[in-house]
Every structure is written in C-alpha cells, then in structure tokens.
Chain A
Amino acid sequence: MKTLGLLINPIAGMGGSVGLKGTDGMYQEAVRRGAVRKANARTALALKALLPIRDDLLVLCPSGEMGEDLAREMGFQVKVVYSCGPDTTAEDTIAAARAMADADLLLFAGGDGTARDVFTAVGDQKVALGVPAGVKIHSPVYAIRPEAAGELALSYLKGACGQTREAEVVDIDEAAYREGRVNTSLYGYLQVPYERRFLQSSKAPSPLSERSQQVNIAWEMIDQMKPDLYYLVGPGSTTKTLMDVLELPDTLIGVDLICNKKLVQSDLCEQDILKRMDERETHLIITPTGGQGFLLGRGNQQLSAAVMRRIGRERLHVLATQEKLFHLHGAPLLVDTGDPEVDRMLTGYVRVIIGYMEEQICPIGAERQ
C-alpha cells in the first residue's frame, strides 16, 4: 500500500480568471468579481491517472475542499489528517503539509504561493509535486499540465521512476506585479520526481541529467579558478553543486565566499561582501535564478550595485545548464541592480559555462519592460 499526500489550495487560480494577477491576499476581491473555484477540477484531471492503483493507495488529506471531498468523490481510500474550516489560509496549507509526514509523495495543487507554503512546511525532506492550478506558475516544481502531474505521480508511486531532482520554488511579489513590476525571488528547492520518459532519441547521444550537467559545470569552473583570489558564490542549485563538488557547506539562498577551494565565510550580506573585497581581488560566480533568467536583482540582492560596480564584467562568471538557457529562447540574461549605470556596464555578451569545457555566448541585458 502506497500513501499519497493530497493538498489542494481550493482558491488557487481564482484571481487570474477575473483579471487579478494572483490570489494571494486578494481572495475577497476575486469572489466579489465573481471568480469560481477551479482548483478541485484541475486536481481531478491529475488524480484520474491514479485511478488504476486506487485499491493500493491511501490518500492522506485535509478535510473538505482541501482534498477530502475530491478524493472521496473519485473513490479513493481516504485518511483525513488535518481539519480546516471553510475559508482556508496559507497556515492551513503549511499545517496540513506537515501532517502528511508519512506520505510517499505529496501532490499539491495551487500556484507559486502554494509551493512556497509547501516548501515552508517540508523543505527538501519530502518528495513533492505540483498540479498547476494557480495564476502564477513560475516554479518548476509544477508539472506542465495536471494530467502530466498525474502520470508522473503514478509512475513514481509504482516505483517505475525512482529518481528525484531539486526544483526551484520561486514567487513574484504580487503587489508589485499588479503594478506592472516583476520582482522574483527564489525561496528554496523542493524534491520532485524525475522520470526518464519518452525522452530518448535513439540516434542522439544521451543528454546528461540536470545533476550531472551541474557537476560538469562545477568542474569547469573549478578548472578556471585561480589561486589566492576570492570567489563569491551566489545562490542557486547550480552554484550549490559547485560547493558540493568542493565538499564545502553551502548557503542555498545566500552568498558564500571561498578562496583556494576553502570556505572563507558563509552567507555574506552586502556589507560583508564590500569589506571582503578590500582584502583581495574578488570574482563572482552566479547562476540565473528564478524562471525568467535574472542574473542579478532577484533573490540575490546582496550583490548590489556597489558590489557589481567593483566586480565588473571581467570578474563575473556565469554558470547555467543548457536547458535553462534554452528556456530563454535567446532572450538576454537580466540584471537589475537598481543602478542603471551599473546595469549598463554589465550589459553585453558573456560566456556562460554550460558544461565541462563548454561555454555558450549569451547576451546580458537590463530589465525587460
């Protein structure tokens, strides 16, 4: 018997249908505008894929609209692990996710806000997968479609796909977004199932998995490092892999400082960085964060204009998997240090390390309008 944690943010997606850019903090307005709840219907599309293993599956879920109703309606065996009232909140999501410690897989439906709540609750200790139901879906913890989430969940629960990968939880500031500004932040990483499925094409050499691409990238960066210089290592899973390869502790969403492959200081703030830069020639190793190719200004605000003015383009090392660059489709990597002059200085073409002895030429641009 396998157990599935099922968690639905029942109000996810409501804002989008009535012209609101997200539902966080806007539920009442959405209802006022006549929004209807769709998250359960979206989740049903995913759960349909699990019907064949219904008899061997126990669904752990919160009461009512957050999971119980739908699971029962579809004939799953249900165990309610958390009770919630009619108007559910982020706190309910967090508490419910924590109550599902026994689940083999946590399937949650919502948007970026929901993913953040799930991350707050379980961190990287639980394998989780998102059913896209919200307005904002920038976090790759979500499957492309609800049906795809269902198929992947099925395959994971059947044991056919045992691998997982780290996927980013990113969110944008909805208040700013509604005013037309995009401000993305990286909140952390969830472990999501990873399946090799119909990917193969016989005459091509196998593509490397994301993880091994990151290891390749790390080796190339290490080969390029010079002795006795300071290297600031920015946040992100690709830079984290660099630290892993060097067997150094990493601050996943912070900036660390290394020298001669040894850790000098962890989790530096802007002032720490500026102080350290007085000591030695300092280079910066960063990777685009979030879903929009931001190099600077999203989730790494410590790397301020003052810092970047001194790093310059010469001492900037950008790492990214080729897949991540592909998703940009030629659009520039973005910098938004808050100082237009510094942003301009960083603009141009940069060699991005994409593998061992492999680089790609990418444009850097100021923030997109």
Chain B
Amino acid sequence: MKKIDRSSKVRTGFHQAKWDEPVIFELTKPGERGILVTKANPEVQKAVEGTSVLPSFLQRETAPALPEISQPRVLRHYARLAQETLGADVNIEIGQGTCTVKYSPKVNDQLASLPQMREMHPLQDESTCQGIMQIMYDTNRYMCEISGMDRFSFQPSGGSQGILTMASLVYSYFKSKGQEKERNEIITTIYSHPSDAAAPHVKGFKIIYIHPDENGYPDYEAFKAAVNEHTAAFIVANPEDTGVYNKNVLKFTKLVHENGGLCGYDQANANGLLGVTRAREAGFDMCFFNLHKTFSTPHGCGGPACGATGCTKELEKFLPGPLVDFDGEKYFYNYEITNNPSAIGKVREFNGVAPVILKAYAWIRSLGPDGLYQVAKTAVLNNNYLFKKLMELHCVDAPYIPGKQRIEQCRYTLETLFKETGVSTADVQRRMMDFGMHYWQSHHPYYVPEPMTLEPTETPSKEDIDEYIETLKYVFDEAYNNPEKVKGAPYQSVCHQLDESNMDDPKQWAVTWRSYLKKFN
C-alpha cells in the first residue's frame, strides 16, 4: 500500500448519517412494552377506589393510541435520530450566524445532571436550596459586572422572553408614572431581530423602524425624526447582525433620555464585547444576555434556555420577582423589592431555568475575567480573519464600512455569485450541508441581497476556519463550473431537496401523524 492521500482541504467524502428511520408510530408491535410501571402496594389498592371515583364523563374510555415498542427499539430509534442531527459537538460551527454556537463544556452538563440540581423542587424551603440560590445570586453579580447593570432576573427563558421582559419593564416604568398610554412607541432598527418588534407588540407598543445609513448605523437623522413625546424606548442590538458596531451609540441613547424615554440593549450579539465594553457606559437602562449563546449553556435544539434580563437600580423594582438576596449568612428570596402595583409580576413560573443558570455560572468560573476578555478578543479575531479571507473572493462582498473591522459576525452578500451563476445563497446553504457545514442566510425580509451570515465565535481553531473557507470556495467554484450541481444539493445529507408545497395547504399539511394518516390514507 502507498501512503494514503489526505491532501484534500475539503471533506468531499462526507456523508451524514442517514437511517431512513420510520416515524415512531410505524414501530408499534402490540404487546411490546418500553417500561414497566410501579403498581400501588396491594394494601393501598384495597383501601381505595382508584379511578372509579371519577365521574363517568371524566373517565378515559379508550387508551391513548400511543405506539407499543420494547425498550431497545425505542432507544435505537432515538439514537439514530440523534445521529441524524448535526449538533455543535460534531461540526465546525461557523455557519449559524447570530446564534453564537460555541463549545458547551461537558463538565458543565455533568454538573447540571447531579441530583443536587435535578432532584430539587422549586418550592422547597429556602434553607434546603442554599446551594442553587448561591449560584443564582453570584451569577446575578457576574452579569451585573459584565453589563454594568444593577440587577438581573433569570425568569426570562429565552431571548424573545428577554425582549418581552424589557418591553414589560418599559411598560411598568411608564405605568408607575401614569404615562403608559402616551408613551406607546418603541423605536428599533430594521436589522434588529424580528422579536425586537414582535415582543413589544404583545405589550401594546407601536414599533417605529429606523433604516441604516450608508455606514450601516441606524440613520441618526431619521432617528431624530422618530423620537418624540410618545417614545417609550429605543431597543436595539449593537453590533447588529452585520457585525458593524454603531460608534455613535451614545448619541442615540442620549437623545432618547433627553426625551424621557428608556434604552434597552438587545445583547444577543454580546460575545465579542465581554470585558471590552458594557451596556451601562453605552447609555442603556436595561439589557439581556442569552445564556444559551454567549454563556455556552447549550442550545438544546432550541431550549431550555435563559434570556437573563438586567436593569439599573431605578428599574429594579419592576423586575419579575422575587429576586435572590444575601443577608450575610443565608440566601433568601426578596419579595419586597418587586412588591408594587406597577411591577411586572412574573414572566415564568418559579425562578428560572436553574440548570442553565448553573452552566453559565460554571462557564464564567472556568474563564474568569481574563478568559472572558480572551473569549471576546478571539471571537473578534476569528471573525475578522474569516472576513478578510472571504472578502478576497470575487463573488463575496459585505455592505458598509469597507476596510473596517467587524465585531463577532458579519452579514455578507453573494449577489455577484447569483448574478454571474444563478446560484443563490439558498443553493449554497444546501450544498454546504453536503460537507457537514451549517450555513445561515438571514432573517426576513432580506435587506442584504443573497445574504450569508457567519459567526465563528471563539470555538473554532484556525484550521477549522480555513476548512470552512476552503469548503465555501469549493462550492463557489462549483457554482461557476457546474451550477446545476449546487442547485440540486444536497446529495450527502439526511434527505434530498424538500418539497414543501403541502405546508401551506390546510388540506395537505400535517402537524401530527394522525393528521397525516387522515389526509393521506
């Protein structure tokens, strides 16, 4: 045998696991059991009436039509589905821009699986929960130091709920002044996450959008035209998904404050800013962090998560309560601070997603102040390295501030590629899957034509980034030489091109197996 040739920079031999798994209902075999269930003690059974106490209309007549599957077969089915899922553990996560998909340390998962975490009831006596309350209290302090805010609530359980909580804080603040009806407008930008508009709507706010100027900053002249006596708040991300940092942010927050409004910082893009700059110095009254993004607690296919929301002392009394405090000896729930008629009350049952808070805590403690700073710097270094390499390619461009640095991500445009080859960003996305790579376009509507949003975080190595670039180049070359190949992708993924034409048709859509059988039998 000769030495095996491993010189290819691109994983052309990749193939994702494809098991052609049935839908779980097709695995049913009457009589099989997945688990045996504890029966009540015979004496207990004898002593009580059991289900017969239910009035007849409340007695279930037929058992739910769940499948009957023995344990190894259930396990195998789900193990296969797991293999058909491209988690961050198994691929180079650069392609899911805006999501900050980074390494989630395994030790943190293990710590969160301890019985001292899992087997805790949220209503236990405070004396029995001092460990987790300490974690919550300290994590609150760390978040305050990282942002410059004075107090955090961990009830918001995702980024969108964080934004809802900020909008609710704004509502509460003006309600306490009797102005909740006049102060009914929230200003945001068209690049902001759609939830920056949708969540405030829930609190009855009108949304005023600002267009970016030629630098990609919110157009200050338009902003001036927007701010008035109805302005309740300005809610914005900085950097936005373009990776452009709005240098003039202080001017914006100042104008809002002069007009009596509040400023809320969507810190979904905070990964490149840890230890570098903070919400408070930029003039914000409140902010939220996605612990599942910036703070590495994993994404879990989309939660459980936490959108930890913090604010200044002035707004603290409106936060969802209770808040954890420490009296020098023990940790306790402080109900007093948030006990006022204008306060939000609650945005979640109990006190937040404790395992997520624990993992964020452990992550911060494994990095310390130097490490968090290193995270931000390396994330920005990685991104600007990627940015430079990609901008050298003929078919890639990125709008705004040419020649200047981006923060932790960038929204590129493949308009040239599309015009010259007919290959769209969606085609490139599907083709990248043939090499085991995620790739994300943009939120809708597309303001940047043929968008591609990449965020390397601090996790990939230089070699990983180079591999991602080489793979993109491979696909671009293919677009010029064999565009049909790219348009027909994917070929090496779990499935081929989806035909979603039934998904908008009530006669054909099927959200459940029973609907599918009803419609297609």
Question: Do A and B touch directly, given a CB cutoff of 8 Å in the complex?
Answer: yes
Residue numbers in A under 8 Å from B499 (CB-CB): 160
Given contacts A160-B499, A349-B221, contact A359 B214 (CB under 8 A): no
Residue numbers in A under 8 Å from B205 (CB-CB): 357
Instruction: Determine if A369 is an interface residue (Cβ-Cβ < 8 Å).
Output: no
Q: Is the CB of A358 within 8 A of B440?
A: no
Q: Which of the listed residues A204, A325, A349, A358 has the most CB atoms from chain B within 10 Å of its own CB?
A: A204
Q: Is the CB of A361 within 8 A of B422?
A: no
Q: Which residue in A196, A207, A330, A359 is a CB contact (below 8 Å) of B504? A: A196
Number of A-B contacts (CB under 8 A): 88
Given contacts A198-B426, A204-B194, A357-B201, contact A349 B225 (CB under 8 A): yes
Given contacts A196-B504, A201-B440, contact A359 B208 (CB under 8 A): yes
Given contacts A196-B504, A198-B424, contact A207 B444 (CB under 8 A): yes
Taking CB as reference atom, which chain B residue is nearest A357?
A: B206
Complex Cα distance, B189 from A330, in Å, reads 13
Instruction: Determine if B197 is an interface residue (Cβ-Cβ < 8 Å).
Output: yes
Q: Is the CB of A362 within 8 A of B447?
A: no
Given contacts A203-B99, A348-B225, A357-B201, contact A323 B445 (CB under 8 A): yes
Residue numbers in A under 8 Å from B381 (CB-CB): none
CB of B167, distance to nearest CB on chain A (Å): 13
Instruction: Determine if A17 is an interface residue (Cβ-Cβ < 8 Å).
Output: no
Q: Is the CB of A349 within 8 A of B222?
A: yes
Residue numbers in B under 8 Å from A162 (CB-CB): 505
Residue numbers in B under 8 Å from A363 (CB-CB): 221-222
Complex Cα distance, B442 from A204, in Å, reads 8
Given contacts A160-B499, A201-B444, contact A358 B426 (CB under 8 A): no
Per-position 1/0 for A182-218, Cβ under 8 A of B: 0000000000000010111101111100000000000
Q: Is the CB of B444 within 8 A of A361?
A: no
Chain A interface residue bracket vs B: 20 to 34
Q: Which of the listed residues B443, B446, B501, B504 has the most CB atoms from chain A within 10 Å of its own CB?
A: B501
Per-position 1/0 for A327-360, Cβ under 8 A of B: 0001000000000000000001101001001111
CB of B373, distance to nearest CB on chain A (Å): 29
Q: Is the CB of A360 within 8 A of B225?
A: no
Complex Cα distance, B323 from A157, in Å, reads 60
Q: Is the CB of A359 within 8 A of B206?
A: yes
Instruction: Determine if B153 is an interface residue (Cβ-Cβ < 8 Å).
Output: no
Complex Cα distance, B503 from A161, in Å, reads 11
Residue numbers in B under 8 Å from A196 (CB-CB): 500, 503-504
Taking CB as reference atom, which chain B residue is nearest A198?
A: B426
Q: Is the CB of A330 within 8 A of B444?
A: no
Q: Which residue in B208, B214, B445, B504 is a CB contact (below 8 Å) of A326? A: B445
Taking CB as reference atom, which chain B residue is nearest A196?
A: B504
CB of B161, distance to nearest CB on chain A (Å): 14
Complex Cα distance, B380 from A18, in Å, reads 49
Instruction: Determine if B88 is an interface residue (Cβ-Cβ < 8 Å).
Output: no
Instruction: Determine if A147 is an interface residue (Cβ-Cβ < 8 Å).
Output: yes
Taking CB as reference atom, which chain B residue is nearest A148?
A: B422
Residue numbers in A under 8 Å from B194 (CB-CB): 204-205
Residue numbers in A under 8 Å from B211 (CB-CB): 325, 330, 360-362
Per-position 1/0 for B78-108, Cβ under 8 A of A: 0000000000000000000011000000000
Taking CB as reference atom, which chain A residue is nearest B504?
A: A196
Q: Is the CB of B206 within 8 A of A358?
A: yes
Instruction: Determine if B209 is an interface residue (Cβ-Cβ < 8 Å).
Output: yes
Residue numbers in B under 8 Å from A354 (CB-CB): 209
Instruction: Determine if A33 is an interface residue (Cβ-Cβ < 8 Å).
Output: no
Complex Cα distance, B210 from A330, in Å, reads 10
Instruction: Determine if B212 is an interface residue (Cβ-Cβ < 8 Å).
Output: yes
Residue numbers in B under 8 Å from A159 (CB-CB): 501
Q: Is the CB of A361 within 8 A of B226?
A: yes
Q: Which residue in B201, B214, B424, B441 is a CB contact (below 8 Å) of A330? A: B214
CB of B18, distance to nearest CB on chain A (Å): 20
Instruction: Determine if B207 is an interface residue (Cβ-Cβ < 8 Å).
Output: yes
Q: Which residue in A160, A204, A326, A357 is a CB contact (below 8 Å) of B443? A: A204
Complex Cα distance, B501 from A199, in Å, reads 13
Instruction: Determine if B213 is an interface residue (Cβ-Cβ < 8 Å).
Output: yes
Instruction: Determine if B190 is an interface residue (Cβ-Cβ < 8 Å).
Output: yes
Q: Is the CB of A359 within 8 A of B445?
A: no
Complex Cα distance, B208 from A330, in Å, reads 15
Complex Cα distance, B226 from A163, in Å, reads 37
Q: Is the CB of B222 within 8 A of A362?
A: yes
Instruction: Determine if A266 is an interface residue (Cβ-Cβ < 8 Å).
Output: no
Instruction: Determine if A145 is an interface residue (Cβ-Cβ < 8 Å).
Output: yes
Instruction: Determine if A322 is an interface residue (Cβ-Cβ < 8 Å).
Output: yes
Q: Is the CB of B206 within 8 A of A361?
A: no
Q: Is the CB of B501 within 8 A of A160?
A: yes
Complex Cα distance, B221 from A359, in Å, reads 16
Residue numbers in A under 8 Å from B426 (CB-CB): 198-199
Complex Cα distance, B219 from A161, in Å, reads 39
Q: Is the CB of A201 within 8 A of B209?
A: no
Taking CB as reference atom, which chain B residue is nearest A206?
A: B444
CB of A222, distance to nearest CB on chain B (Å): 15
Q: Is the CB of A359 within 8 A of B443?
A: no
Residue numbers in A under 8 Å from B112 (CB-CB): none
Instruction: Determine if B223 is an interface residue (Cβ-Cβ < 8 Å).
Output: yes
Per-position 1/0 for B184-202, Cβ under 8 A of A: 0000001000110110010
Q: Is the CB of A204 within 8 A of B222?
A: no
CB of A314, distance to nearest CB on chain B (Å): 14
Per-position 1/0 for A288-332, Cβ under 8 A of B: 000000000000000000000000000000000011011000100
Given contacts A196-B500, A349-B225, contact A201 B443 (CB under 8 A): yes
CB of B347, distance to nearest CB on chain A (Å): 19
Q: Is the CB of A199 within 8 A of B222?
A: no
Residue numbers in B under 8 Å from A145 (CB-CB): 422
Complex Cα distance, B222 from A330, in Å, reads 10
Complex Cα distance, B305 from A203, in Å, reads 15
Q: Which of A245-263 contact B (CB under 8 A)?
A: none
Residue numbers in A under 8 Å from B221 (CB-CB): 349, 363
CB of A295, distance to nearest CB on chain B (Å): 16
CB of B464, distance to nearest CB on chain A (Å): 22
Q: Is the CB of A204 within 8 A of B225?
A: no
CB of B503, distance to nearest CB on chain A (Å): 8
Residue numbers in A under 8 Å from B219 (CB-CB): 330, 361
Complex Cα distance, B433 from A198, in Å, reads 15
Taking CB as reference atom, which chain B residue is nearest A352?
A: B209
Q: Which residue in A161, A206, A207, A358 is a CB contact (below 8 Å) of B209? A: A358
Q: Is the CB of A205 within 8 A of B198?
A: yes
Q: Is the CB of A330 within 8 A of B501?
A: no
Which B residues lie at the A interface, using CB under 8 A?
A: 98-99, 190, 194-195, 197-198, 201, 205-214, 219, 221-223, 225-226, 422, 424, 426-427, 440-447, 499-501, 503-505
- Give the top 10 A-B pairs by smallest Cβ distance, nearest first: A349-B225, A198-B426, A207-B444, A361-B222, A360-B209, A160-B501, A204-B443, A357-B206, A361-B226, A358-B207
A sample of 14 inter-chain contacts (CB < 8 A) reads A145-B422, A148-B422, A207-B444, A322-B445, A326-B445, A330-B211, A330-B214, A349-B222, A357-B201, A358-B208, A360-B211, A361-B226, A362-B211, A363-B222
Which A residues lie at the B interface, using CB under 8 A?
A: 145, 147-148, 159-163, 196, 198-201, 203-207, 322-323, 325-326, 330, 348-349, 351, 354, 357-363
Known: A196-B500, A326-B445. 13 other contacts (CB 8 A): A159-B501, A160-B499, A198-B424, A201-B442, A203-B98, A205-B194, A206-B444, A322-B445, A325-B211, A349-B222, A357-B206, A359-B206, A361-B226
